[in-house]
Chain A
Amino acid sequence: MRVGLVCPYTWEVPGGVQQHVGDLAEALMGMGHHVSVLTPCEPGTELPAHIVSAGGAVPVPYNGSVARLAFGFRAAARVRRWIRDGRFDVLHVHEPAAPSLSLLACWVADGPIVATFHTSNPRSRAMSVSAAALRTALERINGRIAVSDAARRTLVEHLGGDAVLIPNGVAVRRFERADPLEGWPGAGGAIGFLGRMDEPRKGLPVLLRAFNQLGRERPGLRLLLAGPGDPREALGRVDPELRHRVALLGRVDDADKARVYHSVDLFCAPNTGGESFGIVLTEAMSAGAAILASDIPAFRHVLRDGAAGALFEAGDPAALARAAGEVLDDPRRRRELSAAARAAVRGYDWRTVAADVVRVYETVMPAGTAHARPVTVGRADPQ
């Protein structure tokens, strides 16, 4: 199948949509499909062969802040040329309500179009204000996907209609294998944490209080903390005689994240609430870490009620310490948890998610004529 993906935001700036499009493209190519991605991109950026630049994005006030977007008749001409050259069986645009390439692609294309909606912003009035300008272009979309319930609600509220729910995938491959950090986990055992240090809902204080107890009982046990935020406040919560056993990494990139998951005997997610999915948890599962997490609903769901990772009562340091002690003392249980985590995360893997997306493609393509008529440039074609 020949698939054309359109990303509305500039490629060299990291962002959720860009990451999603990049991962989806790789997963689709891994399944043997032909993929081309059209995206705004600063001239001079090195791009893989399947990523096509539509030129630089322009900073412009939109929706109450300044966004970098691609618009104007020159951008439209580039989209047109890309569609004509690509001869796609299906066009998959991302965030088509943003005034950028995806919207332009809907406007110029004629043929099967799938759109994925990422934004969940109930306060945004921008969509409804410009709904008239959007409607004509968005009417051409044959199948709509939302990445979360919130995104789906936003879509229904502003544009009407409905969408199928296909969540973001996890790039399991990116975390599957990594070298542990030098000297970790060590003989005395190690517990890991990854998340904002100064966001109470991430639950770091709960873990630190538990460590004050665990550290006294286990002389070699160490703690590995990664994530942005002020580390002094965190260290202040640890007993002074235990502080030298806490290692702080600050903000880490994906490669170092993977190493963190592989550097500890037990990965702890002590969140007290506010998580809807638990991306950190699925990454740790991809790495095959033995996991101990609070029993908030999202984690309970992802960890299959404790089968793919141990659970403790959210917000209770004593319960955390007890559960962590049990897992640390039992290497066989850790191996079992690790294997169960790897197996459970397969359901969230991009390879699985991409297969769901392909089913959407197949649904919007006219039956039996899959390769008969590619996406063309419609009425807006000046030729």
Chain B
Amino acid sequence: MLADIVSTVTTVFALLVLLSFYVSWRAGRLDRLHTRVETAHAALDAALLRRSAVVLELAAASELEPASRVLLADAAGRARRAGGARERELAESSLSRALRAVLDQPGLREGLGEGAAPDGDDLLAEVEAAAKRVHIARRFYNDAVAATREARAGRLVRVLRLAGRAPLPEFFEIDDEPPDIGGRG
């Protein structure tokens, strides 16, 4: 009789221990994922700010004709000022489109060629690099968001509120196709 009780208590205790291990592992995983989302978001934010800053520099200092400069300054300025997440998605997409419209011209580099400042070419390369970095950073961020959302969808996580008060991360959906500078291919 006593042995029975002892054996039941032991079993329950062992199950509880196992369960708590499992729960704390799930919580730890969730925590790691949240951290990953935050890091990825910081990287994306930096990439976007860097892109608009470089584009503004191109609009201000380059030997581009004024119509292109106005278009770039307008799009980059709007992207910088955009407030909420949805508004920012729209503004950043517009910046990608404006960049492509202005820089996807066959022979742009040669066209800028003679009149361009010695560092004009470097600035174009910098814009291209910044646009590609946005493309990459957004992939990584959305990847982290997808993993986190999946982890948080489990019943256990929802019942035990393992995510705490961390807000559910949102995907960042924009057109981030980088420009093909000079229309090389």
A101 to B112, CA, bound (A): 18
A133 to B95, CA, bound (A): 17
Is B71 a contact partner of A62 (Cβ separation < 8 A)? yes
Which A residues touch B69, using CB under 8 A? 99, 130, 133
Is B70 a contact partner of A103 (Cβ separation < 8 A)? yes
Query: From B115, which residue of chain A is reached at the shortest CB distance?
Result: A382
**Number of A-B residue pairs having CB atoms within 8 Å of each other in the complex:** 88
A274 within 8 A of B: no
Known contacts A61-B94, A133-B59, A133-B60; decide if A76 and B65 are in contact (CB<8 Å). Answer: yes
Known contacts A73-B108, A99-B67; decide if A132 and B102 are in contact (CB<8 Å). Answer: no
Is B105 a contact partner of A72 (Cβ separation < 8 A)? yes
Distance to closest chain B CB from A379 (angstroms) = 10
Partner of A130, one of B70, B105, B108: B70
Distance to closest chain A CB from B121 (angstroms) = 15
Which B residues touch A75, using CB under 8 A? 65, 67
Is B59 a contact partner of A60 (Cβ separation < 8 A)? no
Which A residues touch B59, using CB under 8 A? 130, 133
Which B residues touch A59, using CB under 8 A? 101
Query: From B73, which residue of chain A is reached at the shortest CB distance?
Result: A130
Partner of A382, one of B101, B108, B114: B114
Which B residues touch A62, using CB under 8 A? 71, 74-75, 98
A107 to B108, CA, bound (A): 18
Is A136 a contact partner of B98 (Cβ separation < 8 A)? no
Is A107 a contact partner of B66 (Cβ separation < 8 A)? yes
B120 within 8 A of A: no
Query: From B66, which residue of chain A is reached at the shortest CB distance?
Result: A137
Query: From A133, which residue of chain B is reached at the shortest CB distance?
Result: B69
Distance to closest chain B CB from A136 (angstroms) = 7
Question: B: which residues have CB within 8 A of A?
Answer: 59-60, 64-71, 73-75, 77-78, 94-95, 97-98, 101-102, 105, 108, 111-112, 114-115
